[in-house]
Amino acid sequence: MTTPLKILNAVFYVTKTDKRPVREWLMDLSREDRRTIGEDIATLEFSWPVGKPRCSPIAGVTGLYEVRSNISSGRIARVLFVLIGSQMVLLHGFVKKTQKTPSKELDLAKSRMKEVKRHET
């Protein structure tokens, strides 16, 4: 039996000070929640493109996507990412508390996306 090939390779966004904010955020979650989010990210890696409910583009921000994960206690987690070639760069993660994604969460992801794209060229 052959092992399925990844279509995308998920990588963490790295700050100028060598921090990985999404990894650090994940480590603050329970093992169960990390597993759920990890499985959802893996689904995208092996099955891209994936649509709703697992993944969707962010309206009004070209190139920015979100992984949608239902985690413990009825909470909803989001990991925002950008595609750079075959890399899925995980920019920002948060637990959603309202129906609309807060602008501070989007602004942070957009800022990181610009930085990643700037270094791509």
* Residue 55: predicted pLDDT: 93
Q: Is domain 9-119 classified as CATH 3.60.21.10?
A: no
Specify the DSSP element, H or E, that contains 90.
strand 87-96
User: CA 87, CA 47: separation in Å to the nearest integer?
Assistant: 14
H/E element, 56: strand 55-57
Amino acid 100: pLDDT: 85
Q: Would you state the pLDDT for residue 97?
A: 86
Q: What is the CA radius of gyration of the chain?
A: 14
Q: Locate the domains of the chain by residue range.
A: 9-119
CA–CA separation, 27 and 34 (whole Å): 7
Q: What is the Cα–Cα distance from 54 to 59, expressed in whole angstroms?
A: 16
Question: For residue 109, what pLDDT is reported?
Answer: 97
pLDDT for the residue numbered 99 = 83
Please list the ranges in the chain whose pLDDT falls under 70: 1, 121
Other C-beta atoms lying within 10 Å of the C-beta of residue 12: 16
The reported pLDDT for the residue numbered 1 is 64
